[in-house]
Amino acid sequence: MTATEVGDGTRGAGGGRRAVAGTTWPRLALFTGLAAAVVIADQVSKAWVDRSFALSQASDIVAAPLAPPTPVIGDFVRIAKGYNNGAIFSLFGSSASFFAIASLVAIAVILWYEITRGGRASILLTLTLGLLMGGAIGNEIDRIRLGYVIDFVDMGIGTWRWYTFNVADASISVSIVLLLLIGIVGDVGRPPESARAVGAGAPGDGRGASAPGDGRGASAPGEGNASGTGGPGDAAGPGETGAAAGSAEPTNAGGDGRPG
- Active site residues per annotation: 151, 169
- How far apart (Å, rounded) are the C-alpha atoms in residues 13 and 81? 61
Provide CB contacts within 8 A for 80, sequence distance 6+.
56, 57, 69, 70, 152, 153, 154, 164
Instruction: Report the C-alpha gap between 25 and 219 in whole angstroms.
Output: 40
Identify whether the C-beta of residue 5 lies closer than 8 Å to the C-beta of residue 19: yes
CA distance to 30, 46, 75, 120, per residue, from 8 (Å): 20, 39, 53, 13
The answer to whether the CB of 45 falls within 8 A of the CB of 151 is no
